[in-house]
């Protein structure tokens, strides 16, 4: 009888020996666990940037991250002495003893991210710390430096470039060949970080692309961050939610965030969860929330959830997943139950609002009274719910989509093509390739804007409803029960100035149909300048030549940072797109060029950026058109043969004969004024709600003027 083979093997022999794996094999296996795909590398690098105190993070990706991942930040940088061990395994500045994990505050702590990238890709780091005259660039392979750090020019912070990811892992690379699969994951990661870290500017684009797929500016409002990343339609249906639980020493937690109401409809759930500022997943919490919404939303519709949970550090175990994707919580079941109950209560209280709003939006545009409306809404609320009666003095129109409260409803005979656009120049997409967002002087100007805005005016701007134009300079807006006059020129000038700084070095471009010679533009501006009216033509030409040379000398700078392109022949060829869907009044181009030549402080960087942005803001502001307003009595200005007494008899001379009017000029004026009015309503005010931070000076300089308060008007009419 044959003896049985050892361990059931097919052949008798010695058991295989256990060997110690080579260090290179161990490191590559570990790297495959930490860097599972390109989006994992991007997440690790962004978390490093945030740990470094960055206020701006820029990401560029090529071929879904397989060819190139470049992450730049303006954090504190890396010390020269630390570059030698930067990419070795388990080297970190965030942890010194295992006990430190109990109170860890940073997002990274293992010291494996950069090391793992060097084992599966080619990593190059460029960094500079504060006080250094120059930065250093060094490349890494398999955890060690390939060469000594080389001095180089650098901007504040660190730039990490990962090339040829998974070049030595054939099977992994083949599964990731389709870049369309991984790039959306990268965009999704950055979008989630942008919503939570509202004090950090994020951008993400494909390498070589003209437009960024994610671009969020630093803001003070969470809703503004959600609006800029996911769109205004999402924000419209969000409800704020806050939960705190401090019943016992072992059950302390706070949660705040936003959840979608019953009106929100989407095919896929969006759940953004941060625990102690760490982006994580929690399957149990996600399932509990979906269960609550299943009783409220239509079938196949999913909610939008943003939550930020804060727990004592010792109640969170962050060391349970190689990529830190998951954490373990103390009393997790109790926390989930508390959050689930809070969401359920919020949704139940919002159900009446849902039915009421649907009923109101189905009314006709003529805003005729519906005597059955009150009965329907009361019946839908159920017998057990008491409707809160709104005082008559506070019942005002608050839905901007309802046209019944706009001035146009009461203006008859207006042109029906107010929304027609009039193209002045051909537009092409263009972005500066250089990243200029890290300049400290530009950052200081943005900080000035953030520190000097007026909170009360900001609330008016964010939540106002456009009513209509009052005259050439002022528009009417409604905020709650108050009516305000707003100076359109002032707010558009400030908005354009702030946008010029926010889009600094990252503009699309307007290509002029024909290059415009600077010298001719300057001569035109000088002839129109009242202060220069006494100067001779030779002196004006000399001033124009001097300003042309100044602009040609600084052409490279203003092109790089503001996308104002001047060619070698001294001709203006491109202008920046400060607001999408908006082209400035080209009749003011000579004045703009003169302001660039005369008003810009070229020898001081911060003042240079301020004055150029101010000139751009003034040029792009919505000034009244050059041609007079032809509406009303203004039409007499377009008579062909007006005598000197025309103005005196304007009221009695209202043009009975169409042949007596310059129809071509009149049509041009009507088009210009109609285009300005359309732009104010559909471009300026939506952009103002998103981006404008009104300075405190606007509260006292007549930019915002309250003209009516419904409560006070109600008291007056109540006496009649």
Domain-located, residue 403: no
Mean pLDDT of 163-183: 78
Pick 73 or 336 by higher pLDDT: 73
| β-pairing verdict for 565-566 and 571-577 | antiparallel
- Out of 189, 216, 243, a domain closes at 216
**What pLDDT score was predicted for residue 421?**
35
- The enclosing H or E element of 191 equals helix 179-196
Domain-located, residue 711: no
Domain count, the chain: 3
* Shared domain check, 212 and 74: yes
Please tell me the total number of residues recorded for the chain in this structure.
Answer: 720
Q: What is the pTM of this model?
A: 0.48
186-235 pLDDT, tens digit each: 999 899 999 999 999 999 999 888 888 888 888 888 999 999 999 888 99
11-57 pLDDT, tens digit each: 557 888 777 767 666 666 666 566 778 888 898 899 889 988 899 99
Least confident window among 252-266, 311-325, 667-681, 702-716: 311-325
- Give the separation between CA 560 and CA 432, rounded to whole angstroms: 6
- Out of 320, 351, 382, a domain closes at 351
* Shared domain check, 612 and 574: yes
Mean pLDDT of 131-152: 90
618-672 pLDDT, tens digit each: 999 988 888 887 776 667 777 766 554 444 454 444 444 555 777 778 788 888 8
- Grouping H, G, I as helix, E, B as strand and the rest as coil, residue 607 is helix
| β-pairing verdict for 56-62 and 201-206 | parallel
Residue 639's Cβ-count burial label (10 Å; 0-12, 13-18, 19+) is: middle
Supply the angle between the helices 38-51 and 113-120 in degrees, to the nearest 10: 140
Structure tokens at 444: 């200081």
- Give the separation between CA 561 and CA 570, rounded to whole angstroms: 18
505-521 pLDDT, tens digit each: 888 888 888 888 888 88
- Give the separation between CA 231 and CA 403, rounded to whole angstroms: 23
* Shared domain check, 192 and 237: no
**What pLDDT score was predicted for residue 470?**
85
- Give the separation between CA 501 and CA 201, rounded to whole angstroms: 13
The boundaries of the domain holding residue 255 are 231-351
Q: Over the chain, what is the mean pLDDT?
A: 77
- Give the separation between CA 653 and CA 647, rounded to whole angstroms: 9
* Shared domain check, 538 and 629: yes
Domain-located, residue 193: yes
* Shared domain check, 208 and 241: no
Structure tokens at 512: 């002029």
Pick 454 or 644 by higher pLDDT: 454
348-360 pLDDT, tens digit each: 776 554 433 333 3
Contact criterion met (CB below 8 Å) for 573 and 515: yes
Domain-located, residue 3: no
Helix (H), strand (E) counts: the chain: 21, 24
- Give the separation between CA 224 and CA 693, rounded to whole angstroms: 12
Tokens 């911060």 identify what position? 606
* Shared domain check, 618 and 470: yes
Supply the angle between the helices 555-562 and 605-620 in degrees, to the nearest 10: 60
- Give the separation between CA 443 and CA 198, rounded to whole angstroms: 16
Cα–Cα–Cα angle for 577, 694, 470, rounded to 5 degrees = 85
* Shared domain check, 179 and 239: no
- Give the separation between CA 487 and CA 468, rounded to whole angstroms: 12
Burial 309-338 (b: 16+ CB within 10 A, else e): bbbeeebbebeeebbbeebebbbeebbbeb
Most confident of 6-10, 295-299, 403-407, 652-656: 295-299
Domain-located, residue 644: no
Q: For residue 248, what pLDDT band results from cuts at 50, 70 and 90?
A: low
């Amino acid at each position: 009888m044959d003896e049985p083979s050892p361990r059931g093997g097919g052949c008798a022999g010695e058991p295989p020996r256990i060997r110690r794996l080579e260090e290179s094999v161990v490191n590559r296996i570990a790297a495959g666990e930490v860097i599972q795909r390109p989006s994992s590398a991007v997440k690790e690098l962004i978390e490093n940037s945030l740990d470094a105190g960055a206020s701006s993070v820029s990401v560029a990706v090529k071929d879904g991250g397989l060819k190139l991942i470049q992450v730049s930040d303006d954090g504190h940088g890396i010390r020269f002495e630390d570059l030698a061990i930067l990419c070795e395994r388990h080297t970190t500045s965030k942890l010194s003893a295992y006990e430190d994990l109990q109170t860890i505050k940073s997002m990274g702590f293992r010291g494996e991210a950069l090391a793992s990238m060097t084992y599966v890709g080619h990593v190059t780091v460029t960094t500079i710390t504060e006080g250094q005259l120059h930065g250093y660039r060094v490349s890494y392979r398999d955890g060690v430096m390939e060469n000594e750090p080389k001095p180089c020019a650098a901007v504040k912070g660190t730039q990490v470039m990962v090339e040829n990811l998974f070049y030595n892992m054939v099977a992994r690379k083949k599964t990731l060949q389709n870049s369309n699969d991984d790039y959306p994951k990268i965009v999704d990661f950055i979008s989630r970080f942008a919503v939570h870290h509202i004090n950090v500017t994020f951008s993400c684009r494909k390498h070589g692309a003209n437009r960024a797929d994610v671009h969020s500016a630093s803001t003070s409002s969470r809703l503004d961050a959600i609006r800029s990343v996911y769109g205004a339609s999402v924000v419209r249906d969000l409800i704020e939610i806050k939960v705190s639980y401090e019943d016992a020493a072992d059950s302390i937690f706070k949660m705040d965030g936003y959840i979608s109401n019953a009106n929100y409809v989407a095919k896929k759930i969006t759940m953004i969860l941060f625990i102690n500022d760490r982006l994580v997943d929690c399957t149990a919490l996600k399932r509990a929330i979906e269960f609550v919404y299943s009783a409220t939303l239509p079938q196949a519709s999913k909610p939008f959830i943003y939550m930020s949970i804060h727990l004592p550090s010792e109640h969170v175990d962050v060391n349970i997943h190689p990529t830190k994707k998951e954490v373990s919580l103390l009393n997790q079941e109790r926390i989930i139950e508390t959050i689930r109950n809070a969401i359920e209560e919020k949704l139940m209280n919002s159900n009446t609002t849902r039915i009421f709003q649907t009923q109101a939006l189905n009314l006709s545009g003529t805003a005729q009274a519906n005597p059955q409306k009150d009965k329907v809404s009361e019946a839908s609320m159920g017998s057990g719910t008491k409707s809160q009666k709104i005082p008559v003095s506070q019942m005002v129109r608050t839905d901007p989509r309802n046209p019944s409260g706009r001035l146009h409803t009461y203006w008859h005979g207006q042109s029906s093509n107010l929304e027609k656009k009039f193209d002045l120049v051909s537009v092409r997409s263009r972005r500066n390739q250089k990243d200029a967002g890290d300049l400290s002087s530009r950052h200081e100007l943005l900080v000035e804007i953030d520190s000097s805005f007026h909170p009360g005016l900001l609330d008016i701007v964010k939540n106002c409803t456009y009513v209509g134009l009052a005259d050439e300079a002022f528009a009417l807006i409604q905020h709650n029960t108050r009516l305000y006059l707003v100076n359109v020129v002032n707010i558009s000038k400030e908005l354009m100035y702030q946008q010029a700084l926010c889009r600094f070095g990252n503009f699309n471009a307007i290509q002029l149909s024909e290059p415009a010679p600077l010298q001719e533009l300057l001569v035109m501006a000088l002839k129109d300048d009242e202060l220069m009216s006494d100067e001779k033509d030779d002196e004006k030409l000399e001033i124009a030549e001097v300003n042309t040379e100044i602009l040609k000398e600084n052409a490279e700078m203003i092109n790089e940072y503001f996308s104002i392109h001047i060619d070698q022949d001294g001709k203006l060829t491109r202008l920046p797109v400060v607001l999408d869907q908006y082209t400035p009044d080209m009749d003011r181009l000579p004045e703009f060029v003169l302001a660039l030549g005369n008003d810009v402080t070229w020898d001081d960087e911060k003042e240079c950026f301020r004055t150029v942005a101010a000139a751009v803001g003034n040029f792009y502001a919505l000034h009244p058109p050059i041609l007079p307003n032809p509406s009303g009595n203004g039409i007499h200005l377009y008579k062909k043969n007006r005598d000197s007494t025309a103005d005196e008899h304007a009221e009695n001379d209202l043009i009975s004969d169409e042949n007596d009017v310059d129809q071509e000029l009149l049509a041009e004026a009507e088009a210009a004024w109609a285009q300005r009015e359309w732009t104010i309503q559909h471009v300026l005010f939506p952009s103002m709600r998103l981006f404008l931070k009104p300075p405190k000076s606007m509260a006292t300089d007549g930019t915002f003027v309250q003209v009516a308060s419904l409560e006070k008007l109600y008291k007056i009419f109540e006496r009649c």
